[in-house]
Amino acid sequence: MRMTDQELRDLVAENARTIKALRASQEKTDEQMKRTDERIDRLGQRFGDFGNTRGQEVEEFFYRYFCRHPELLGTTFDEVDRNIITADGDEHDIILVNGQITALISVKYKLYKKDVDSLVAKELKRIQHFLDKWGSTHVLYGGVASYIVSEEVSKYAQDKGLYVITRSGENTVFLNKKSFRAKSF
């Protein structure tokens, strides 16, 4: 079927109007998506800030506890520090020190097995490396402190030789069994 010149012009004009309307619609959609992305970014930042605030709250709770009670199941410490940054850039939550022992306590809002593994495989090994490098004869112990610790993760951490500390109301309790013996790293 053949089109007349006028029909062809009308078809091209109609297509041009359709393309123009599609462009306007796409620009409107792009603007809406931009506003939505900005809202999502703000929400993400708020939730990230919330998570950071919870983490700081947990760390502050356990830091204050150790300042009042600088001991781990009978071993007393002279110094309690927090947020120690080592030469390699690692940050350690709480460190307890006396004349012979250093204890590194990793603080988490909720404790997972991967946190235990990271403490044992990375943080404690690095700290031990620095103690060795400095010629320190300190024995190094590790511990985890968390508001939320499942029985399974508590047992896992204890099997790795770590102190396990959690919150009980306004107090702190050790979840280690009486037969627990800390492992030196």
Q: pLDDT value at position 49?
A: 52
Residue of 55, 122, 41 whose CA lies nearest to 93 = 55
Neighbours of 150 (CB within 10 A): 13
Q: Are the beta carbons of 80 and 67 closer than 8 angstroms?
A: yes
Residue of 108, 105, 176 whose CA lies nearest to 146 = 108
Model confidence pLDDT, tens digit, residues 33-90: 777 777 776 666 665 554 556 778 899 999 999 998 899 988 999 999 988 776 677 7
Residue with tokens 């402190």: 145
Q: pLDDT value at position 87?
A: 67
DSSP bridge pairs for 144? 106, 164
Model confidence pLDDT, tens digit, residues 146-158: 999 999 999 999 9
Q: What is the mean pLDDT of residues 22-33?
A: 81
Neighbours of 119 (CB within 10 A): 25
Give me the domains of the chain, ranges plus CATH numbers. Answer: 1-185 (3.40.1350.10)
Q: Are the beta carbons of 95 and 102 closer than 8 angstroms?
A: yes
Q: Is the dihedral of CA 123, 126, 131, 134 positive or negative?
A: negative
Q: pTM of whole model > 0.75?
A: no
Neighbours of 98 (CB within 10 A): 15
Measured in degrees and rounded to the nearest 5, phi and psi for residue 23 equal: -60, -45
Model confidence pLDDT, tens digit, residues 89-131: 777 889 999 988 989 999 999 999 999 999 998 888 887 877 7
Q: What is the mean pLDDT of residues 134-141?
A: 81
Residue 138, token pair as written in the block: 């300190």
